[in-house]
Structure 1
């Protein structure tokens, strides 16, 4: 890395929570009233640069993730940036190898959420120093450099480093053209969930569907799992607006609310609405269950998707290798940051499973636009889609943007999740008197209300 050596001197965490439970943004069959939140990590250096990373939660417990970030970030304090990125796979292994911290994982749960924030903050710092967006760093890598970013422990039965090299070399033809498409913001078509939250009334749902259709969206996702009658009514309304034969695609998401037999029976009653896939039909850890649901729904032409709660590359390995899913929904920070995402992209490429990241949360579209671009340009070479929710983007310095149904490829250096200082101050929890929204009278409706 050219220029003066940069050393990480410390870090700060911020517990940022937005009161989305007040209007039921993000509501679904499992998560009735979430407050979209960010467990935020800021890496400090002896230079003008800082690294910003975050992990998404939906409110209570965000402080626990912040506490875990303190333990993980301590492992990079005093390290030079160049030493961390010279052998990224080794660095990632170092970050998950604290034996005492592993005990409260290993590589899952709160400690892994914290890892995602710290790893992504290092990538953000590196990208700012290089003057590139994160996606471009990876797109510009040789296959050998890409593979050195991955810790292959536990996944060599799915893909070896040698196989990964070959997969990336096989993707080289056409890469220049795909890079040009990315630069022209034609690499990542968007789909919308904004009309589909379970807590929204019919009129709001109809208006949002019409609005998003007019903006160029062709893929629409609705939450299901409340009752068959309500879901049939809502899906009927959606199909009235988007049609069946106009190139518009419908997806549905149950957010883990069913058992395996319930999922199969329930989706049989929604099959006439021809959804592309059912997302999270059952427990996110149930590989056998997802396979059973997929096999049962195949005659209906309905696929199975999951991943937003998939805690690491090992669970994804099992879902992919056993044929349990049709669609792989990586999450930018539930996995251990960019490096573990790259591992899953490689496995999905080998087994021919399309990548459709989870993006339903604050900061997630900002993150995942980079990951989908990496997948298209450097790994799969196949155009996919990426979720977009039209909430809270105004709090970021470089918010994600949709135009004509496509994500506008980020060009600013970094990982796009740097939040405005005033937004952090206003929505920090529990926050300062006279500054934080959480100290206001309005906040009492949440703080003193039922915890559901």
Structure 2
């Protein structure tokens, strides 16, 4: 029995001034300040454990997500953890189906980001109660227990509960061997840190040189603002990493459909594995058109970091609109919804290559992708997880990268707990922001 009632849920607006160094810059988001709505759940249990969760934002607007979290908190405070997790599907649906709050979603946008932050904290608390890292707790759960956490509403035409259980049952074969492999070798990663759009050529070259020395073999380049600039930068990167290492492109939604096709054909000489978010993240049929046009060139389409929910992923898969599926631990409705997407990807035989980076996204998504390999996909073919070397020092249990691979976390929980940096970077009252405002380097 899991004792203890949830007594409080607090949320903090935490922002890091990454725009000052052009970190995270791309064709659509030129000056992001990586930020988070950071949730803490407290209980009256004797062990005094707390659950920590977050959702990722780019600065302005974080305050709106904070308001949405506060609006959802009344559905959480006063409940027991046992009451939540013994009927997790019902709790998930309660959060996403509030008769009035649902109108400002439903299951998308600000209210869904807030839902993710709240549920991430619940999962962190549950894993800590179990004394296991989240990935291990998921691996050790039975197929029936895992499926009971998923809301299958709207996706049964693509994946039924019975099919999900069958996938997970088949995934149990060889599970111990795959877990041993993860503990020894980790999950393969690719780096986005070398080629943000705002970086100079000199900075790009230095970062690629350093990454190659550290053993990185998979690199992503931001593109989409200027074709001649893209040609120059892609040439630099391809020449530096050589013909055998993997190169991916990311346009961050910059183009119209036909523009995306023609632009990527110009960049095809650099042999990219995929083009990521070539057009509007909501345009499923547009992605399908791009996928079909680029297939003869051997270039796939990747998307998902701004895919609202499981229903959109269902349609992307049904329309053959992507070749690489990118889940996000803070865009979807936490672990619950990501489980459904991992299972659909397995059924449609599409590799999952998660979106990460930001604030805490690497810390969170490593749990999901390690679980996916051990218990769902059972494969590393054409699979890798994004890594961005920013802001990990602000977490109590930061990611560990060894030989360009995520090493499985060993501490209990979801790796979501931040350290005292929360106070310094609290917006706008934290010391860091007050200093930047005083020096007129950034304004509110």
TM range (shorter): over 0.9
Show the 5 A alignment for 1:282-297: 282-297=279-294
Residue in 1 aligned with 2:220? 221
- Summarize the alignment of residues 194-209 of structure 1 with structure 2, pairs less than 5 Å apart: 194-209=193-208
Instruction: Kindly state the Cα deviation for residue 182 of structure 1 after the two structures are TM-superposed.
Output: 2.2
Which of 357, 369, 372 is the matching residue for 1:372? 369
Q: Does 1:169 align with 2:169?
A: yes
> Which residue among 14, 19, 32 is the counterpart of 2:12?
14
Deviation (angstroms), 1:208: 0.7
Q: CA deviation at 1:445?
A: 2.2
List alignment gaps of at least 5 residues for structure 1.
none
Deviation, 1:443, is 5.9
Q: Alpha-carbon deviations, 1:374-406, whole Å to 9, x = none?
A: 110111111121111001100000101211111
List aligned pairs for 1:40-59, cutoff 5 A: 40-47=38-45, 48-59=48-59
Conserved? CA contact 2:9–2:39, under 8 Å:
yes
Per the alignment, residue 297 of structure 2 pairs with: 300
1:187·1:376 contact (CA, 8 Å) conserved in 2? no
Counterpart residue number, 1:261: 258
The equivalent of 1:330 in structure 2 is 327
Post-superposition offset of 1:413: 0.6
Partner deviation per Cα, 1:237-272 (whole Å, 9 max, x = no partner): 11111111x3x1000000000000000000010001
The residue aligned with 1:407 is 406
Against the structure 1 CA distance between its residues 412 and 173, is the aligned structure 2 distance closer, same or farther, given a 3 Å change threshold? Answer: same
1:237 aligns with 2:236: yes
Deviation per residue, 1:66-93 (Å, 9 max, x gap): 1100111220111110111112212111
Contact 2:251 2:275 (C-alpha < 8 Å) held by counterparts = yes
- SS of equivalent residue, structure 1 residue 99: coil
SS of alignment partner, residue 106 of structure 1? coil
Separation in structure 1 between the aligned mates of residue 139 and residue 233 of structure 2, nearest angstrom: 41
Shift of 1:441: 4.4
1:93-120 deviations in Å (ceiling 9; x for gaps):
1111211000000000000000000000
Q: 1:387 matched to which residue of 2?
A: 386
Match of 1:108 in 2: 108
Counterpart Cα distance in 1 of 2:90 and 2:182:
30
Residue 280 (1) aligns with residue 277 (2): yes
- Structure 1 residues 183 and 65: CA distance shift in structure 2, 3 A: same
1:137 aligns with 2:133: no
CA contact (8 A) 2:364 2:414 kept: yes
Q: SS state of the match for residue 336, structure 2?
A: helix
The answer to whether residue 338 in structure 2 is matched with residue 341 in structure 1 is: yes
Q: Residues of 2 paired with 1:320 and 1:188: CA distance?
A: 24
Deviation for aligned residue 1:442? 5.7
Determine the structure 1 residue equivalent to 2:117: 117
SS of 1:445's partner is coil
**8 Å CA contact retained: 1:69, 1:114:** yes
- Unaligned stretches of 5+ in structure 2? none
Match of residue 444, structure 1, among 428, 440, 443: 440
TM, length-normalised to structure 1: 0.96
Give the superposition deviation at 1:179.
1.2
Equivalences for residues 342-361 of structure 1 within 5 A: 342-361=339-358
- Pick which of 92-101 and 51-60 moved more: 92-101
Distance 1:72 1:372 in 2: 28
How far residue 130 of structure 1 moved from its aligned partner, in angstroms, is 1.1
SS of 1:325 mapped into structure 2: coil
- On the 8 A contact 2:357/2:390 being kept in 1, the answer is no
Q: CA deviation at 1:360?
A: 2.5
Instruction: Tell me the distance in 1 between the aligned counterparts of 2:233 and 2:386.
Output: 20
Q: Is the 8 A contact 2:437 2:443 kept in 1?
A: no
Distance 1:293 1:264 in 2: 6
Cα RMSD (Å) of the superposition?
1.1
Shift of 1:321: 1.2
